[in-house]
Structure 1
Amino acid sequence: MAFMVKHMIGGQLKDLTGGLGEEKPEGEKTEAAAKGMTQEEFEQYQQQLAEEKMERDASFAQKKAERATIRTHFREKYRLPKNELDETQIQQAGDDVELPTELAKMIAEDNQEEEHKQSVFGQLTNIQNVDLDNLKDKAQATLEELKQSAEKCHVM
């Protein structure tokens, strides 16, 4: 009950006085003292935190640019529309974006496979029930027959 009376009357009394009776305690600690450091140590700590944050941000931007480069590569490969966000991420990284060596190898292997698939032999291997060795043997036999028939021909 006393709490209730104090709460109701005390709040109104503070409003009337404007809070003049309140003073901060003299032993108030600064942020550095609260953490158990001197002011110089606290400033060095804050500076170190800022440097670490900048390094993390730079690393994150570099990784974002690498991912954007990979997405751009696949968009070009499959003729998909370009994305402006990827372009800006690459530009923000400062054009020194390098793909990790493993990813570069994977892309090179994909390119070689695509070139092989686009060649004549690559297209023939896609056809089912085709024996390339048999076709090569037949082609060579046909060439041999043509050479022999050309030797027999007196017109040439």
Structure 2
Amino acid sequence: MNAVQLSIFANRLAGVCDEMGAVLRLSALSPNIKDRLDFSCAIFDAQGRLCAQAAHIPVHLGSMAYAMADLVSGRTWQSGDLMVVNDPYLGGTHLPDVTVIAPVFQSQTLIGFAVSRAHHANIGAHSPGSMPVSTHLEQEGIVIAPSWLKRAGLWQVPLCRH
């Protein structure tokens, strides 16, 4: 691949991330996502290495560049899977930033992941809002360890364990 082809490919991937963000914003109900644009979208390869990200709020994805390899390895991914996580010790930032990971397949071969992270207004904290005064992580709201939100296209309920 020459420099021109590489540049075209890189810009196409960045464009995909921009489009992911546009769809997220248009489908969001939360003012944090719809109006404040407090979200980020990125593409990772099959090993969890960052390939492209949109210029939304890249700080969201700073930790993801290091955490994705652990989040995606050792799991059998299928078409229609969605994983959700917000645990700051397992690749999150703070609890209101909820990350959704979707595998991307081509001819039944895993080729990468589409990832979005969005800041939610309330994640179940003991006080309203997304930034409560807390002394323990659990006081900030629900902690979601890497969990299947969908498995092969089927919603997984209950999502969280207590």
Do the structures match in fold with TM over 0.5? no
TM-score range, shorter chain: under 0.3
Q: Higher helix proportion, which one?
A: 1
Structure-2-length-normalised TM-score: 0.25
Structure-1-length-normalised TM-score: 0.25
Q: Higher strand proportion, which one?
A: 2
